[in-house]
Amino acid sequence: MHEIADAFVIAIKMIFTGDPEVYAITARTLEISISSTLIGALLFIPLGCLIYFNNFWGKRTLISIIQTCYSLPTVFVGLLVFLAFSRAGPLGFFGIMFTPQVMVIGQVVLIAPIITGLTISALSGVSPAIRETAVSLGATRFQAVWLVLKEARYAVLTAILVGFGRAISEVGLAIMVGGNIRGFTRVLTTAMALETQMGNIELSMALGIILIVLALIITVLANKFVKGKEADAAQSRAPTA
């Protein structure tokens, strides 16, 4: 117990004295996870809409498959991305193996089912009457879908946050395709794994604390952003002269 408490205290000191390596790893982690979350959101929220608002054969099966993929093992995705992007793989000519780029691609693949699936759930939580009301007031198909998405904003935000949580916390994929290269592809989770094995418990603890605090800050900010938008919308009545 003592050891953990000591490690904790040293970790806090490390964070506040500004260990340059800790900060570099943190910045790289955020860069990669935020990129993959944004790309994932831009690609897969629209895909979720497309699936939800269209009727086609096999729709329910497709949704079941997507939901099953929520818990896709990160090492499995890592393996697939590794096979695709390694020199001999079909996408090997990109030559991006063991770079942050390929880590972003891997994370996008990893969170694709989560963002798509949770977007579909978010949209099914909105009464069909909302879309119909929009249409009856003259909305185009796109305008109506946009309104439903806005109605589902909290749940869609949750989809993005869950995706981000999975991206920032995964370790298997980051090691397999990133390689944990110091100063290049080393992120909080891979650094923690390595430092713990090397016995640097304090450093590992510091990295862990940062990881949790980051997740907390981003969740709070995202919630604020959505609520703020709402307040803006209410106040934007006054015409802008």
Partner 1 sequence: MLLRVERLQHSYCKAEILKNIDLGVERGEVFIIIGPTGSGKTTLLRLIGLLEKPTSGDIHFDGNRVSDSEEQRLAVRRRMAMVSQKPTVFNASVYDNVAYGLRIRKEKGASLHGKVMNALETVGLAGYDKRNARTLSGGETQRVALARAMVIQPELLLLDEPTANLDPVSTSHIEKLVTDVIKKSEMTVLMSTHDMYQGQRLADRMGVIMAGEMLQTGDPRDVFNLPQNRKLAEFVGVENIISGAVVSNKEGIVDIKVDGAVVEALSSLSAGAAVYACIRPEEITLAKTREPSSARNTFSGEITRVVLFGPLARIELNCGFPLVALITRKSAEEMNLQTENRLYASFKATGVHVIAK
Q: CB-wise, 134 or 160, nearer to partner 1?
A: 134
Q: CB-wise, 9 or 233, nearer to partner 1?
A: 233
Q: Looking up tokens 């955020």, which residue turns up? A: 30
Q: CB-wise, 76 or 154, nearer to partner 1?
A: 154
Distance CA 1, CA 138 (A): 66
Q: CB-wise, 212 or 233, nearer to partner 1?
A: 233
Binding residues (CB under 8 A) for partner 1: these are 127, 129-130, 132-141, 143, 147, 150-151, 230, 233-235, 237-241
Shortest reach from residue 148's CB to partner 1, in Å: 10
Reference 150, options 134, 166, 162; nearest CA is 134
Shortest reach from residue 129's CB to partner 1, in Å: 4
* Beta-carbon contacts of residue 23 (< 8 Å; ≥ 6 apart): none
Shortest reach from residue 154's CB to partner 1, in Å: 9
Q: CB-wise, 68 or 143, nearer to partner 1?
A: 143
For the chain, how are helix, strand and coil distributed in percent, rounded to 5? 80, 0, 20
Is the sign of the CA dihedral 36, 42, 48, 51 positive or negative? negative
Shortest reach from residue 217's CB to partner 1, in Å: 27
Shortest reach from residue 128's CB to partner 1, in Å: 9
Identity of residue 181: I
Q: Which two tokens stand for residue 194?
A: 């390595």
Q: How far is CA 205 from CA 10, 33, 100, 200, 202, in A?
A: 9, 20, 24, 9, 5
